[in-house]
A and B are shown apart, each in its own frame.
Chain A
Amino acid sequence: MHHSQDPKNFTGGYTVSKRIITYAQAINEALRQEMERDSSVFVYGLDVADHKGINGTTSGLAEKFPGRCLSTPLSEEALMGFGLGAAINGLRPVNVHIRVEFLLVAFNQLVNMLASARYGSNGKLSVPIVIRVLIGRGWGQGFQHSKSLQSIFAHIPGLKVIMPATPYDAKGMLIAAIRDDNPVICMEHRFLFWQEGEVPFEPYTVPLGKCSILRSGSDVTIVASSWSCVDALDAAKVLERKHNILAELINVRTIAPFDDATVNQSVRKTGHCIVVDSDWTHCGFSAEVAARVQEDCFGSLRSPVTRIGFAPTHCPTTRPMEDLYYPNAETIIRVTEKKLGLKPADLSDEKFHNYENKFKGPF
């Protein structure tokens, strides 16, 4: 008997409920289990079958599933249309882009074709495709390797946009995305890949279009996306310790469709709302959140909604300026202090998570 050889019995040395794996492993497991479950699922994109396996997220798939994990030519536009053709004919493609900037090359297909294929056929065509795209900064990635752009994709009817921020969400939302009959863009921040968290071994889904509450609180609502959840969590801990302020931290999870009900319910309780979005603010997702909160919670708001995002410029490579470009936990603390009329706390001894001081989690 060699049960330990059977991947179905692999638990990483933990009991199933306590098993800790990384965000990257959670994605890899989601892909592997979905490919096992459904032979119409296949993965393709530049370098998905190479030795690095997209930070380990596609490692082992090419060997385990011959012909179903395909490295491709550098033809982003054609390959996006290719995925549409495969999807409307009954397959479930997962297309991978190692930078969101590269996905822009396929924007024509994404916006003109994938988004409207169902509508233009009066519902006769179904487009079950997942577009995984890596976003985020690190080590001087500069202005062409550091964008997020979730609001641009979320602007288009017909597309779903998700930003899992924890290993648990990464696996459950990716599985939900693969089983969804719509084009789903899954945006994965590179800083999150080494984060560890509890992830059930068995396949499960986390419903798309539903926020989660990472920390409950009654004094201020902080709505955060992707890596901003880590900054916001760091900030929330300091706010509690230094000011006895309890921030309610909402992990937005899905940009489109947006679960504004959960956010509005929290803001009606706290009366204050800060949106921290890993993106630019102008015409961004943070602007959408602010608009919806003010429409729904106008009478409950005790201060205007505050938005925090990238500086309205391009991302420079040199570290001192890169640090200025990105908001961080300190930005969130200072904004909260100002909003609530608190004296700035001394943060000189605080250590926050960044590229060198990785966030290992769990939340």
Chain B
Amino acid sequence: MQKDLELELYQSMYRMRAAERAIQQEYPNNQMKTPMHMSIGEEGIVAGICTALKEKAKFYGTYRSHALYLAVTEETDGFFAELYGKVTGPAGGKAGSMHLASPDHNLIMTSAVVGTTIPVAVGGAFREKYMNTDKIAVVFFGDGAVDEGVFWESLNLACLWKLPVLFVCEDNGLAIHTPTSVRRGYDSLGKIARQYNCLVYDSFEQTDVLTIHAMAKKAYAEIQRFRMPALAIIPYYRYLEHVGVNEDFDVGYRSCDEFEQWLAKDPIALLRRRLINQNQENAVVSIEDAVNKQIFISVQKAKDAPFPRPEELYRGVYGE
């Protein structure tokens, strides 16, 4: 069982990394005309949580949506089609990279204005409580979103009405290029959150996907048991520039040394080493081969797919 879980998590994370490596290769051809906010480095968070809460949660995210989309849907055909603006994408090309979502897979919404999906998830959690289901809402956002008033409004509301929502702060310490040290008039988000009537999970020292997976399982159980929301604060490192497919260590706001310290605990490399040590090399390589092949095919399909027809411009502004 544990071995199967580890392989499943490895496949999930490897798919994310390989898909974004493919984007890095293809993006310079200027056929994917959409701003890319890359997930490389954060894969452990979404892989761990979404794998743990599949079928048990509805997910909400941000414009840094690639890894989340792949974690929830486990598919790459629609993913690349959306990036190429093709009609075969989950939003028919209207959404692009910043709004990747698939309500059919319970990835309800992602958004390009910081903090905006946080209250939406709280409303989604209200619906689950209202209808007396056992689902929770899970919303991912960066540490920059914590600067927004709407984060605190949403946290308060969820605590007040005891709503089943897991807030996940993907804490990379940067809002675009501005570190928390010049944005925050306080020391610890976790300390403040403990004053609210919610559960707080913030003891992550590393990026290990298994730790995150276990936290998500525990969070789900405790949200149901204690009838209160939860906040997880999980540190990670953004390997690439804020928007775009390249590294930006040359511009001076952060150092390459810092990056190398994080790279040493890269979530995908960590799990790969563990699996190899367990004599799982064949399984690992066969996952990698299958994913690489699948991505190659998905990119080709996306390139070959048609663009939406002109009448699509007006479709979907209003419902009937």
Interface positions of A (Cβ within 8 A of B):
42, 67, 72-73, 75, 77-91, 93, 108-109, 112-113, 117-127, 157-158, 160, 180-182
Contacts and interface: CB of A to CB of B under 8 A. Distances in A.
A118 B116 contact: no
Interface stretch (B13-21, B117-125, B167-175, B205-213): B117-125
- 8 pairs of A and B residues whose beta carbons are closest in the complex: A85-B123, A81-B119, A78-B153, A75-B153, A181-B319, A82-B123, A85-B120, A89-B127
A312 B131 CA distance: 49
B177 interface: no
A120 B95 contact: yes
Interface residues of B, number: 44
A125 B58 CA distance: 14
Interface of B: 58, 60, 90-92, 94-95, 99, 101, 103-104, 108-109, 111, 113, 116-128, 130-131, 137, 149-150, 153-154, 156-157, 160, 315-320
A113 B103 contact: no
Contact of A82 (B58, B91, B104, B122): B122
B153 A86 contact: no
Contacts of B128: 89
A43 to B, nearest CB: 13
B113 A108 contact: yes
A85 B124 CA distance: 5
Given A77-B150, A91-B130, A112-B116, 12 more contacts: A67-B130, A75-B154, A78-B122, A81-B118, A86-B123, A86-B124, A88-B124, A90-B131, A122-B94, A123-B316, A127-B319, A182-B319
B74 to A, nearest CB: 18
Contacts of A91: 126-127, 130
B91 A113 contact: no
Contacts of A81: 116-120, 122-123, 150, 154
A89 B58 contact: yes
A63 to B, nearest CB: 18
Nearest to B151: A78
Contact of B127 (A72, A86, A127, A157): A86
Contact of B95 (A77, A82, A122): A122
19 contacts: A77-B149, A78-B150, A80-B119, A81-B123, A82-B154, A82-B157, A84-B120, A85-B60, A85-B126, A86-B124, A89-B124, A109-B116, A117-B109, A120-B91, A121-B101, A122-B92, A123-B315, A125-B109, A158-B317
Q: B60, B90, B127 — which one has the most chain A CB atoms within 10 A of its CB?
A: B127
Contacts of A73: 153, 156-157, 160
B319 A82 contact: no
A216 B6 CA distance: 76
A42 B144 CA distance: 33
A90 B131 CA distance: 10
Given A75-B153, A119-B317, A158-B318, A125 B123 contact: no
A180 B91 CA distance: 23
B165 to A, nearest CB: 10
A121 B91 contact: yes
A124 B104 contact: yes
Contacts of B317: 118-119, 157-158
A81 B115 CA distance: 10
A126 B316 CA distance: 10
A77 B119 contact: yes
A157 B126 CA distance: 27
